[in-house]
Structure 1
Amino acid sequence: MRDRQLVADLVSDIALPKMFKVKQIFPRPRIDPEEIPGIIRQLLSQEKFADKVQPGMRIAITAGSRGIANVALTTKCIADFVKYRGALPFIVPAMGSHGGATAEGQKAVLESYGITEEAMGCPILSSMEVKKIGVNEEGMDVFIDKYAAEADGIILGCRIKPHTAFRGPYESGIMKMMAIGLGKQHGAEVCHEAGFKNMAKYVPMFGKAIIKNAPILFAVPTIENAFDETCKIVAVSAEEIAEKEPPLLQEAFANMPRILVDECDVLVVDQIGKNFSGDGMDPNITGTFCTPYATGGIKAQRVCVLDLSPETHGNGIGLGYSSATTKRVFEKLDLASMYPNAITCTVLGGVRIPIIMESDREAIQVCVRTCNEIDKKHARIVRIPNSLHIEHIMLSEAYYEEAKKNPDLVIESEPEYLPFGPDGNLW
């Protein structure tokens, strides 16, 4: 108790500024979920796609571990089309080492998104077993999910989005779904072993080898807007993936949200979790990149994490890129769910434990206290609920005049002190 009080005393004189609410204005192209079945049916009814699905064929449909908008609906629409063509669909989890790197864990991830056998109307065949299908251009063995490898055809369901650790023509999308998703634990380890420095090389190299040696029919990728809503669905034949994915990635970049101030002293993130980003908090928003091979997001001298989302079930990956957190977060951490992903991708920074403070107030205070060369009486603080939903955020009073002049920021409240309870936690 005495030691804790000593730490608290070191930050107790740090006065936190008043904060005000703002609404960030982003473009919002959007597809109504009710329109999705018709869009997918129309896309796949084109001769170049429909002719690839013949009666009696066993067709594997991939589904990943990311929280993709309308993922259960889009997956079911693909399965329905396969059945309409007289073929036999089944779903395979394509998520590398995620789900605890077990068949049961990966099936459970899909079920948490509503992708169940009952809802999809077809089997889910989950296994960590892989099968060699060939070699890539450097002579490295290429493996993919056993069930997918033995199917008559594979349809890739996925989302195209900027990656959180590297930059290249192919990031999170079709190529990665093949190279790492379908590659299971083995594919994830092989691609990550060379580090993120080489990921922009290995993802398409393995992806192209899979297109050449596995029965890939086509892909049905989606793009999301700044509000985590489906804004585009396309169909891409196997032979067109290499050419068409890079422009789609640029569309995904253009639709991403961002914090509409470029820099701050302290970024406060109310919650992190795997349901918001594979990295707990998306560094494309928060600037908390795990490697030097990707850049973007807000430039913050300190990052403060206040809590974990219930949906992340103690997986606090990404916490290591914060400067301070709360005792509440520390007590929720499930290290067994955090470590496998970090070990597989060979980047351990995200599972480190930052400085732990007793309360929300102390965690924010220690971040302000340890900033260098700032005006601590008028600290520039940005507070976001999480990295996925940033339409409504809070800014400290130092931003008030700047916000009034920004046509993309709508001020929603006057500056007020944050409402801390007697325990120092935010109400």
Structure 2
Amino acid sequence: MSGGPADPSAGTGAWGPFEAIRGLRPDGVIPQVTTIRRLLPDVPTEHDPYAAAQAALAPLAGSVAPGARIAVTAGSRGIHDLVVVVRAAVDWLRSVGAEPFVVPAMGSHGGATAEGQREMLAGLGVTPESVGCPIEATMETVVVGTLPDGTPVHHDAVAAKSDGVLLVNRVKPHTDFHGPVESGLAKILAIGLGNRQGAAALHAGGIPLLGASIEAAARMVVETGKVLGGLAILENAQEKTAAVELVVAEGIGRAAEMALLQRAGSLMARLPFDSLDVLVVDEMGKDKSGAGMDTNVLGRCWVHGIPEFESPSIATVTVHRLSEASHGNASGLGLADVMPARLLEQIDLRTSYVNALTSGAGGARRSRLPMVMEDDAAAVLAAVTMSGRRDWSSLRLARIRDTLSPNELMVTPALLTEAADRFDLEIAGTARDLTDATGSLTSWGER
């Protein structure tokens, strides 16, 4: 990141390096942590998502004309079986005589450039070789109509020129709002395939109107007659595919998709504790969540400057690196309170700010810079110092890899004692320091 602060090793200055922070609590010693896991014995799992996707598409066989060019969507999220399901859709379309291709459907992500979106897909494993067809990307759009308030509804120009569009996306609760339709098929159609212009237009009305705008815009695109339907991927609390189901065009943004959202919400992984002093998040990124870190896991949204979730309640959050698949997009960084200086070097301001500008007021708040400390140890120490816990021996601190993986945690003794009394949690390691002598987070070891 250009224009960053001075080298923290050069002196205290405005940095407040580790020694200065430690001086605030010279008696403060962060307790050791122990790995625990959540036991999920009855999680529904689809063991062959490729076959499930192909079977789900069977009802569309009569809707695809031989030689038809069909656009298959792929978004920017780290969906467990995204490549498998997209490949299944491509193979099925080719088996009925169509000529499929993949089109990125991710709004303004990838720096709002066609090449940037190709790179994001490649980072998720979606390449012409892995899915078996070309990838055609553009940021150009056509306007298919306007909403009653005058908002234009944009649609990807490549998809608009195709003979049909098949949506592929995960259905799950949204990170900004809750309503009958949240993240899923309607969203990837209205915002994902709206590219930067469409995403910005729909977000411009503010978060309170976003859900209704997505539904209305998606329905307007469906009415063009180009949308074949969508493959909805549901994931379980173990981050694996629970089901792959077809929603026909008439059901997108309506009862069929709404029912899947309810199922997805019941399957979603969440933190096993309702109250934490500190949450340490190893990695954030657009492949983890549209908000970089899933607000449903953090219990904080900040769209209106307040947490906006009743549970969980987390006093302070640290985040320590940006995923490679994000390609510098650090939107959502403002959901954290403290970070190490190393993360600054991973941030592409242009890419991050393009996404924030597209997202409206929520994007502005979430793109603010957290407190910057010299290393992982200093970041955690600062968070603990600000957590409101006077007696650190009773500190309720948990560490997770990312918000996609809240079922495996490192926890301090106060939480370990609670975990030992619960049937749904198991102790899976021995006590260790959270950070090492170099100031870095210790490794997780074997998963």
TM-score normalized with structure 1 length? 0.92
CA displacement at 1:184 relative to structure 2: 0.8
- Picking from 9, 24, 49, the partner of 1:10 is 24
1:239 aligns with 2:250: yes
Give the corresponding residue for 1:85. Answer: 96
- Picking from 259, 263, 272, the partner of 2:271 is 259
Give the corresponding residue for 1:40. Answer: 53
1:355 aligns with 2:366: no
Q: Give me the identity figure in percent.
A: 36
Give the corresponding residue for 2:5. Answer: none
CA displacement at 1:124 relative to structure 2: 1.8
1:425 aligns with 2:422: no
Give the corresponding residue for 2:356. Answer: 342
Relative to structure 1, is the Cα distance of residues 172 and 151 closer, same or farther in structure 2, using a 3 angstrom cutoff? same
Give the corresponding residue for 1:396. Answer: 412
Relative to structure 1, is the Cα distance of residues 18 and 202 closer, same or farther in structure 2, using a 3 angstrom cutoff? same
Range moving further from structure 2, 248-257 or 270-279? 270-279
How far apart, in 1, do the equivalents of 2:438 and 2:222 lie? 57
CA displacement at 1:2 relative to structure 2: 4.4
Relative to structure 1, is the Cα distance of residues 139 and 17 closer, same or farther in structure 2, using a 3 angstrom cutoff? same
Give the corresponding residue for 1:281. Answer: 293
Give the corresponding residue for 1:96. Answer: 107
Q: Number of aligned pairs?
A: 422
How far apart, in 2, do the equivalents of 1:135 and 1:6 lie? 57
1:365 aligns with 2:381: yes
The equivalences for 1:119-134 within 5 A come to 119-134=130-145
Give the corresponding residue for 1:154. Answer: 165
Relative to structure 1, is the Cα distance of residues 133 and 314 closer, same or farther in structure 2, using a 3 angstrom cutoff? closer
1:185 aligns with 2:196: yes
- Gaps of at least 5 residues in structure 1 are none
Q: Is the 8 A contact 1:169 1:246 kept in 2?
A: yes
Relative to structure 1, is the Cα distance of residues 206 and 123 closer, same or farther in structure 2, using a 3 angstrom cutoff? same
How far apart, in 1, do the equivalents of 2:282 and 2:99 lie? 45
SS at match of 1:51: helix
- Picking from 5, 29, 32, the partner of 2:44 is 29
Deviations along 1:148-189, one digit per CA (max 9) or x if unpaired, are 112221111111011111111111101101110111111101
Relative to structure 1, is the Cα distance of residues 307 and 155 closer, same or farther in structure 2, using a 3 angstrom cutoff? closer
Give the corresponding residue for 1:332. Answer: 346
Relative to structure 1, is the Cα distance of residues 307 and 57 closer, same or farther in structure 2, using a 3 angstrom cutoff? closer
Range moving further from structure 2, 222-231 or 105-114? 105-114
Q: Is the 8 A contact 1:133 1:149 kept in 2?
A: no
Deviations along 1:15-42, one digit per CA (max 9) or x if unpaired, are 212322211123422112xx23332232
Give the partner amino acid of 1:322.
Answer: A
Range moving further from structure 2, 109-118 or 216-225? 109-118
Q: Is the 8 A contact 1:62 1:94 kept in 2?
A: yes
How far apart, in 2, do the equivalents of 1:215 and 1:12 lie? 66
Deviations along 1:83-139, one digit per CA (max 9) or x if unpaired, are 221222222111111111011111222222332223333322211111122333445
Deviations along 1:359-389, one digit per CA (max 9) or x if unpaired, are 3222222222222365434211111121112
Give the partner amino acid of 1:16.
Answer: I
Give the corresponding residue for 1:135. Answer: 146
SS at match of 2:283: strand
1:58 aligns with 2:74: no
Give the partner amino acid of 1:178.
Answer: L
Deviations along 1:4-23, one digit per CA (max 9) or x if unpaired, are 44444224432212322211
Deviations along 1:326-372, one digit per CA (max 9) or x if unpaired, are 12223333323321111110221222111112232222222222223
How far apart, in 1, do the equivalents of 2:310 and 2:44 lie? 23
CA displacement at 1:249 relative to structure 2: 0.4
How far apart, in 1, do the equivalents of 2:26 and 2:225 lie? 62
How far apart, in 2, do the equivalents of 1:402 and 1:278 lie? 32
Give the partner amino acid of 2:54.
Answer: R
How far apart, in 1, do the equivalents of 2:153 and 2:325 lie? 34
Give the partner amino acid of 2:347.
Answer: L
Relative to structure 1, is the Cα distance of residues 381 and 235 closer, same or farther in structure 2, using a 3 angstrom cutoff? same
Deviations along 1:308-337, one digit per CA (max 9) or x if unpaired, are 334434433322121111122233333233
Give the corresponding residue for 2:8. Answer: none
How far apart, in 2, do the equivalents of 1:92 and 1:387 lie? 27
How far apart, in 2, do the equivalents of 1:228 and 1:294 lie? 25
How far apart, in 2, do the equivalents of 1:260 and 1:353 lie? 28
How far apart, in 2, do the equivalents of 1:59 and 1:53 lie? 9
Q: Is the 8 A contact 2:70 2:162 kept in 1?
A: yes
How far apart, in 1, do the equivalents of 2:308 and 2:190 lie? 20
Relative to structure 1, is the Cα distance of residues 312 and 186 closer, same or farther in structure 2, using a 3 angstrom cutoff? closer
Relative to structure 1, is the Cα distance of residues 113 and 362 closer, same or farther in structure 2, using a 3 angstrom cutoff? closer
Give the partner amino acid of 1:196.
Answer: I
How far apart, in 2, do the equivalents of 1:205 and 1:20 lie? 48
SS at match of 1:317: coil
SS at match of 1:95: coil
RMSD of the alignment, in Å? 2.1
CA displacement at 1:252 relative to structure 2: 0.7
TM-score normalized with structure 2 length? 0.88
1:71 aligns with 2:87: no
Q: Is the 8 A contact 2:21 2:378 kept in 1?
A: no
